[in-house]
Each structure stands twice: as structure tokens, then as C-alpha cells.
Amino acid sequence: MTTRVTLIGCGIFRDEIEHILKEDQPDLDIRWQEVGLHDSIERLEETLDAVVREHRQSGGGPLGFLYGTACLPTMKAFAAERGALVLPAKNCLAALVGEARIKELERNRTLAASVGFVRHMWLGRAQTATGWTADDFRMQFGRYDRIVVLDPGLAPLTDEEILTCFDLVQVPLEIEPCGLDYFRHIFKELLEACAAGGRADAY
């Protein structure tokens, strides 16, 4: 059996991971999945199970999930039952700057978001036949006075995307630069734990 680490990843992380991997080239295979699968617990579970089965049937080695621990209600247990570990962050926002920083940002009727979330989840939903309507967006965002968008500087939102998002949600967006130090740390932590054999006591 190979010792190469395989990660099953939500595409929301793709820009950040590809940037980090330009700096370092571990023995790693990432199987990217569609952004937004966590909208349906059943669909996310079925997708992860299918990729895990394929991985095991091919004799794959250590396995991890590039998903937040809250993307499924029982994500850690779900992963452990399949011999996998999970990124040590609640969600894709906490993965960028940590849960404490997100709580700090989301005071006073503020919502935190990421460039990837705005682009793929909000704008992406608006561009599909089955996506959210303008009323759906306003019901979801009407209680907020502003949205802080965390931007690591890899693929910033364009002026057109910012204006389009504002038209949808009717809440001002403020861009806040953030580095990748925190994300790089927890990503490498996941890789090292997987390479150590995927043991819970190593994580």
C-alpha cells in the first residue's frame, strides 16, 4: 500500500491550496469536489463515501478530508469511521483566520465571508436555474449591516463581482486582507497527521 497522502477536498479551498503547494511539493493527491455539497447532508455523505470507496479499492494510503468539522453534523465521527482525518477548523472561514477571529469580526450585525464563498456560493447560486432568488438573498442577509470579505490576495473579487453581490444581498461589502499563515499551519498539520498513519492520537 502506498504511503502517499490523499485528500478529498472542497473546491472552495483550491486557490489557497494550490498557492501553498507552489512553495512545497509533498507526496500528495487531492481529489477536488464540487463547492456547496454541504448544502445537502445526504449528497455530501454520498459523494465522500463514493470517493473513499474508490480510494480504498485502488489501494490508496492515508486519507484526509479538506472540509470543515461542521460541514456535516458529525464530521469527525464520519471521517474516523472511514479511516480519515479532517481539517482542524470549523468551516472554510475559520480555516483562513481561526474561529476566534471570526467571532470577533461577526460582532455588531456583521457577517464574515471569504472571496471563495462570495464567488462560488453566493454569486454561483445566483447564476443557476435552481439557485436563490433576490428575495432569498434578502431574507438571508437582511439582518446584517455589513459583510467583511476575507481576502488572501490570490484571486481578489473584481469590482463587477462586488457590485453584483451588493445588488443581490443589499449589504455593503468591505474587503479585509488576510494572510495564509493560519491556513498554511492547519493544512500542514492535517498532512502530517495523515502521514503519521491517520491516528487520532497524532492529531
The pLDDT tens digits for 73-112 are: 999 999 999 999 999 999 999 999 999 999 999 999 999 9
In the block, residue with C-alpha cell 486557490: 15
**Res. 137: pLDDT tops 90:** no
The pLDDT, as a whole number, for residue 200 is 41
The pLDDT, as a whole number, for residue 138 is 81
Express each pLDDT in 118-131 by its tens digit.
Answer: 999 888 877 664 56
Q: Name the CA dihedral angle for 36, 40, 42, 44, rounded to a multiple of 10 degrees.
A: 10
Residue 31 corresponds to which cell in the numbers above? 481529489
**Res. 162: pLDDT tops 90:** yes
Residues 6+ apart with CB under 8 A from 177: 151, 152, 153
Express each pLDDT in 16-44 by its tens digit.
Answer: 999 999 987 788 999 999 998 988 999 99
At the fourth CATH level, the homologous superfamily of domain 5-88+181-202 is Phosphotransferase system, mannose-type IIA component (3.40.50.510)
- Rounded Cα–Cα distance for residues 174 and 111 (Å): 10
The pLDDT, as a whole number, for residue 177 is 97
- Rounded Cα–Cα distance for residues 3 and 22 (Å): 21
HSE on the CB side for 79, CA within 13 Å?
27
- Rounded Cα–Cα distance for residues 88 and 78 (Å): 14
- Rounded Cα–Cα distance for residues 109 and 40 (Å): 27
Residue 58: how many other CB atoms lie within 10 Å: 9
- Rounded Cα–Cα distance for residues 36 and 27 (Å): 27
**In the chain, domain spans:** 5-88+181-202, 93-177
The percentage of residues in the chain with a pLDDT greater than 90, rounded to a whole number, is: 74
**Res. 202: pLDDT tops 50:** no
In the block, residue with C-alpha cell 463515501: 49
**Is 121 within 8 Å of 147 (Cβ atoms)?**
no
Which residue blocks in 58-88 are alpha helix, DSSP H? 75-81
The pLDDT, as a whole number, for residue 183 is 97
- Partnered with residue 65 across adjacent β-strands are 8, 86
Kindly state the average pLDDT of the residues 166-173. Answer: 92
Express each pLDDT in 45-69 by its tens digit.
Answer: 999 999 999 999 998 899 999 999 9
The pLDDT, as a whole number, for residue 24 is 79
